Amino acid sequence: MAMENVNDMLIVTEAPHARGKSTTSSIMLDVIVALIPTLIAGIIVFGFRSLALTAVCMVSAVAFEWAWCKILKKPSSIGDFSAALTGLLLALNLPVTMPYWMAICGSLFAIIVVKQFFGGIGHNFMNPALAARAFLLTSWAQAMTTWAVPFSKTSIFSSADAVTSATPLVQLAQSVDATSSATAVAESTANLPSYLDLFLGNIGGCIGEVSALAILIGAAYLLARRVISIRIPGTYILTVAVLTFVFGGKDGFFTGDALYHVLSGGLLIGAFFMATDYVTTPYTKKGQIIFGVGCGVLTSVIRLYGGYPEGVSYSILLMNVLSPLIERYTVPKKFGAVKTGKGGAN
Amino acid sequence: MRLKGKNIFGLATFKGGIHPDDMKAATCKKPIVDLPASREMVYPLQQSLGVPAVPCVQVGDRVLMGQKIAEAGGFVSAHIHSAVSGIVTAIEPRMTVSGIKMNSIIIENDGLDELCDIIKPKDWRDMSPKEIVEVVREAGVVGLGGATFPTHIKLSPPEGKKVEYVIINGAECEPYLTSDHRAMLETPEEIIEGLKIMLKVFGLKTGYIGIEVNKPDAIEKMAEYAEKEKDVEIRVVALKTKYPQGSEKHLIKAVTGREVPSGKLPVDVGTVVDNIDTCAAIARVFMYGTPLLKRIVTVSGDCVQNPSNFRVRIGTNVQDVIEKCGGFIKPAAKVIIGGPMMGVAISDVDIPIIKGSAGILGFSADAVAKKKVQNCLRCGRCAEGCPMNLLPNALKDAVLLEDMEKLNKLGVMDCIQCGSCTYVCPAEQTPLQYIRTGKAKLIKARQEAKK
């Protein structure tokens, strides 16, 4: 008995038949949108070369992803926007004076070596943009630590004549360094940017790390859209604040400038946009808290006692590698699990 | 209003869960309409959880409306009654909702609706708990929420187990379905009566009705009727709107704060849960003397011209029900019996409504377009949505690796198959499908280990 308007072959699949609205590409787009204020802040502070560098990174990252899929005869994955996001994050982690060709090398490393060699989206064990940043820092240390003075208008075509400065964290490290001469300490201390400069972005540094305000606007958007939870960034930032307050002062314990540490360097962009990367961080709630605290401890140790003035990217990369182990030991207690006696479905 | 919210931070609920669009607007204002029976009524012998029923009529017999046509085949089983009067024309395999042919009693409806003489109102107040349970068993009542667990078993707790909470499930958390919502608005007195009968069985003075707050009119109506009761106290519990709030274990958690231990039953924490329509069915057995002959079915979905709520006689053909809503206005690519989260997609619409058929949903090809499966992002949404607090993506990996020890450790048998993990997955993965496979594999491995 046939019925009108019923397909000859009805689709039979397992339940559930309904699907949520979130997709991989909608999530990636949300993160890209959340980074727009940060990019705009970078353009205001460092000029249009920031935009040009960002475009170079994004286009090259997408091109490498496309080419990889083409060569391996796999369906193109550029539509999920994850390669574009990697390019954007990489650019925001570079100094504005970075030569374009070096940035392209960074994209190549991020997409091909870190991501595709391990199986593409979902399979990389390190954050591609951060791993690429570490790769560039090792390869071209000079170029990666040349910081343009804010509002000095670096030329889009040549960065050779850029006016350079130190980042606030370098200055802070000098100001509390016991081995520096008294005059050097006094000079560094006097030159430290104000909290307001740190908050708005009137400082030297990578394109995406200078304006705390812009990063927080993006972070609020991601939290409101429930793309990220506060667990990792919250514990990360709190840990850094506590540890730098306790151990970071030059006049003994509990005299450190926690606010300065939180606002400067890559901590905010790292905590909200890198340490929240799904693929390379634990997905268990407890694991996320351990991950955030771990990042905070490592960052504080590197900043206060290490050779580098900045430790955010290495901290996150190290914790990325630990994620599978953290997940293994943070399996949540299931509903109905009994504390004593024998339980389990038998 | 006697409302009861357990959680001091807000409404009573549980941890985890998801928030699908409820899609109930299409039918929640549509009063329940009585539907005429089909010319040919089909009664598959498996209509409840447990063993199939055994026919007690023969081909050629004339049966009356309300007459028992099949006997329970065991303890976990239920009688089946004819919802029409007519002639038994065949007992043969027919297509069912589960996609396989199953032995069924076919009755040619004579349209006279001649009532069986055993149908007489009964006064439960004079009966002992045992007698009440026997009447319910005789009436073939099963859980109408979808699980079709025989109700008389729920009403007979094992020796030594004391029931302290009787909870009526008005959560109706499945999207699209509004049959329980309409029943609460239209027949609140039957629901209250049914609850009172259950309280009498367990010797209790307080009963609970849990309703999601997306049905404020139902909460108000039930509270108004609960207020009238003097002998017993009936508390209406406002529940947070969240899927799967209507899951038995999660409703118990929300109302009582108790957690049913892994592998145990609600009765192990002193609770019994019954669905709204089941509760009303119990009441009707006594008020009018009728066994379970009808159930409420919501017909909805983007292909349906006039989404409706029907009181359908069990055995009616699904096509006849769809025709009564004006048929499908565009080609249906998928037809679901039940809700979109836990319902069953059928391959053929020429099947009967059975006791567990809560809804008929027709969807066009656009609405059910399948998207490409992408790599897992490890975003953790499946774990966050899991009401059992399991790790669906880790379970999936364990299934692929056939790691039985890990499957067991991660609690594969605790999965209630609500589908929240698959619903929320942004990469279009289907963790639940793997988990079902994992359950089957683990059961098989355990059986082999026993040999």
- Cβ contact B299:B33 at 8 Å: no
- Cβ contact B310:B35 at 8 Å: yes
User: Is it the case that residue A345 has pLDDT exceeding 50?
Assistant: no
At A339, is the pLDDT very low, low, confident or very high (cuts 50, 70, 90)?
A: low
The stretch A179-208 carries a mean pLDDT of: 74
Segments in B15-166 forming alpha helices (H): 129-138, 151-154
- Cβ contact A21:A71 at 8 Å: no
| Distance (Å) of CA B205 to CA A117, B182, B199, B232, B252 | 67, 27, 7, 5, 18
Do A138 and A53 share a domain, yes or no?
yes
d(CA B235, CA B4): 7
Query: Is A108 a member of any domain?
Result: yes
User: Is it the case that residue A137 has pLDDT exceeding 80?
Assistant: yes
d(CA A313, CA A127): 9
What's the pLDDT score for residue A176?
65
Do A123 and A246 share a domain, yes or no?
no
Among B262, B329, B349, the residue with its CB nearest the CB of A3 is: B349
Q: How many CA atoms lie within 13 A of A81 on its CB side?
A: 13
The DSSP-derived string for B230-243 is SSSEEEEEEE---B
Q: Which residues in chain A have Cβ-Cβ distances shorter than 8 Å to B175? A: 18
Do A108 and A185 share a domain, yes or no?
no
Query: Is A340 a member of any domain?
Result: no
Q: How many CA atoms lie within 13 A of A290 on its CB side?
A: 20
- Are A6 and B347 a contacting pair at CB < 8 A? no
Q: Which residues in chain B have Cβ-Cβ distances shorter than 8 Å to A327? A: 394
Range of the domain at A280: 164-328
Averaged confidence pLDDT in chain A:
89
- Are B327 and A5 a contacting pair at CB < 8 A? yes
d(CA B409, CA B419): 20
Q: Which residues in chain B have Cβ-Cβ distances shorter than 8 Å to A285? A: 384
Q: Which of A110, A144, A178 is the last residue of a domain?
A: A144
- Closest-CA distance of chain B to residue A303, Å: 30
- Are A345 and B249 a contacting pair at CB < 8 A? no
- What is the percent of chain A with per-residue pLDDT over 90, rounded to a whole number? 70
Among B263, B341, B375, the residue with its CB nearest the CB of A121 is: B375
Spell out a b/e string for B258-269, using b for 16 or more CB atoms within 10 Å of the CB, else e: bbbbbbebbbeb
- Cβ contact B73:B53 at 8 Å: yes
- Cβ contact A319:A312 at 8 Å: no
What's the pLDDT score for residue A175?
67
Among A3, A10, A27, the residue with its CB nearest the CB of B346 is: A10
- Are A11 and B18 a contacting pair at CB < 8 A? no
Among A1, A17, A346, the residue with its CB nearest the CB of B350 is: A1
- Cβ contact B221:B188 at 8 Å: yes
- Closest-CA distance of chain B to residue A242, Å: 29
d(CA B32, CA B29): 9
Q: Which of B372, B160, B323 is nearest to A3 (CA)?
A: B323
Spell out a b/e string for B72-88, using b for 16 or more CB atoms within 10 Å of the CB, else e: bbeeebbbbbbbbbbeb
Do A245 and A299 share a domain, yes or no?
yes
- Closest-CA distance of chain A to residue B226, Å: 31
For each of the domains in chain B, give its residue range(s) and CATH number, in order of start. Answer: 124-287 (3.40.50.11540), 381-450 (no CATH)
Among B389, B410, B419, the residue with its CB nearest the CB of A335 is: B389
Q: Which residues in chain A have Cβ-Cβ distances shorter than 8 Å to B426? A: 20, 22-24, 26-27
Q: Which residues in chain A have Cβ-Cβ distances shorter than 8 Å to B328? A: 3-6
- Closest-CA distance of chain B to residue A227, Å: 9
d(CA B50, CA B74): 8
- Closest-CA distance of chain B to residue A277, Å: 8
Q: Which residues in chain B have Cβ-Cβ distances shorter than 8 Å to A6? A: 328, 331-332, 335, 349
- Closest-CA distance of chain B to residue A27, Å: 8
Count of pairs with CB atoms under 8 A, one residue in A, one in B = 193
Among B343, B349, B433, the residue with its CB nearest the CB of A6 is: B349
State the DSSP code for B360.
E
Query: Is A40 a member of any domain?
Result: yes
d(CA A187, CA B189): 84
Q: Which of A144, A176, A193 is the last residue of a domain?
A: A144
At A178, is the pLDDT very low, low, confident or very high (cuts 50, 70, 90)?
A: low
The stretch A206-218 carries a mean pLDDT of: 94
Q: Which residue of B has its CA nearest to A338?
A: B261
Do A175 and A112 share a domain, yes or no?
no
- Cβ contact B115:B125 at 8 Å: no
- Are B426 and A10 a contacting pair at CB < 8 A? no
Query: Is A155 a member of any domain?
Result: no
What's the pLDDT score for residue A9?
86
**Cα–Cα–Cα angle for A37, A40, A43, rounded to 5 degrees:** 155
Segments in B145-215 forming alpha helices (H): 151-154, 179-186, 188-202
Dihedral sign of CA atoms B376, B417, B295, B208 in order:
negative
- Are A334 and B428 a contacting pair at CB < 8 A? no
- Closest-CA distance of chain A to residue B189, Å: 34
User: Is it the case that residue A172 has pLDDT exceeding 80?
Assistant: no
- Specify the number of domains making up chain A: 2
Query: B interface mutation test: which of A19, A76, A86, A123 has the most B CBs within 10 A?
Result: A19
Query: Is A19 a member of any domain?
Result: no
Q: Which residues in chain B have Cβ-Cβ distances shorter than 8 Å to A122? A: 374-378, 427
- Cβ contact B181:B321 at 8 Å: no
Dihedral sign of CA atoms B350, B354, B356, B360 in order:
positive
Q: Which residues in chain A have Cβ-Cβ distances shorter than 8 Å to B376? A: 122
Do A124 and A216 share a domain, yes or no?
no
Do A176 and A137 share a domain, yes or no?
no
d(CA A104, CA A107): 5
H/E stretch holding B274:
strand B271-275
| Joined tokens for residue B232 | 């017993």
Query: Is A97 a member of any domain?
Result: yes
H/E stretch holding B34:
strand B32-34
User: Is it the case that residue A341 has pLDDT exceeding 70?
Assistant: no
Query: Is A268 a member of any domain?
Result: yes
d(CA A5, CA B303): 9
Is the bond leading into B431 cis (omega within 30 degrees of zero)? no
- Cβ contact B261:A343 at 8 Å: yes
Do A213 and A279 share a domain, yes or no?
yes
pLDDT in tens, chain B (451 residues): 444 544 445 688 899 999 999 999 999 999 999 999 999 999 999 998 889 999 999 999 999 999 999 999 998 999 999 999 999 999 999 999 989 999 999 999 999 999 998 889 999 999 999 999 999 999 999 999 878 999 999 999 998 899 999 999 999 999 999 999 999 999 999 999 999 999 999 999 999 999 999 999 999 999 999 999 999 999 999 999 999 999 999 999 999 999 999 999 999 999 999 999 999 999 999 999 999 999 999 999 999 999 999 999 999 999 999 999 889 999 999 999 999 999 999 999 999 999 999 999 999 998 888 788 999 999 999 999 999 999 999 999 999 999 999 999 999 999 999 999 999 999 999 999 999 999 999 999 999 988 7
- Are A343 and B388 a contacting pair at CB < 8 A? no
- Are B374 and A121 a contacting pair at CB < 8 A? yes
What's the pLDDT score for residue A169?
77
Among A17, A77, A332, the residue with its CB nearest the CB of B340 is: A17
Greater confidence, A204 or A277?
A277
Residue B309's SS3 state is strand
Phi-psi region of B380 (alpha: psi -120 to 50; beta: other; left: phi over 0): left
Among A283, A333, A336, the residue with its CB nearest the CB of B383 is: A283
Q: Which of A111, A144, A177 is the last residue of a domain?
A: A144
- Are B427 and A122 a contacting pair at CB < 8 A? yes
Do A136 and A257 share a domain, yes or no?
no
Residue B378 neighbours by CB under 8 Å, 6+ apart: A122, A278, A279, A283, B393
- Are B330 and A5 a contacting pair at CB < 8 A? yes
Do A119 and A194 share a domain, yes or no?
no
Residue A101 neighbours by CB under 8 Å, 6+ apart: none
In this predicted model, what pLDDT tens digit does every residue of A285-326 receive, in sequence order?
A: 999 999 999 999 999 999 999 877 788 999 999 999 999 999
Do A254 and A290 share a domain, yes or no?
yes
- Closest-CA distance of chain B to residue A63, Å: 20
Q: Which residue of A has its CA nearest to B414?
A: A345
Query: Is A273 a member of any domain?
Result: yes
Q: Which residue of A has its CA nearest to B388?
A: A335
Is the bond leading into B244 cis (omega within 30 degrees of zero)? yes
Do A123 and A172 share a domain, yes or no?
no
**Cα B28 to the center of its chain, rounded Å:** 18
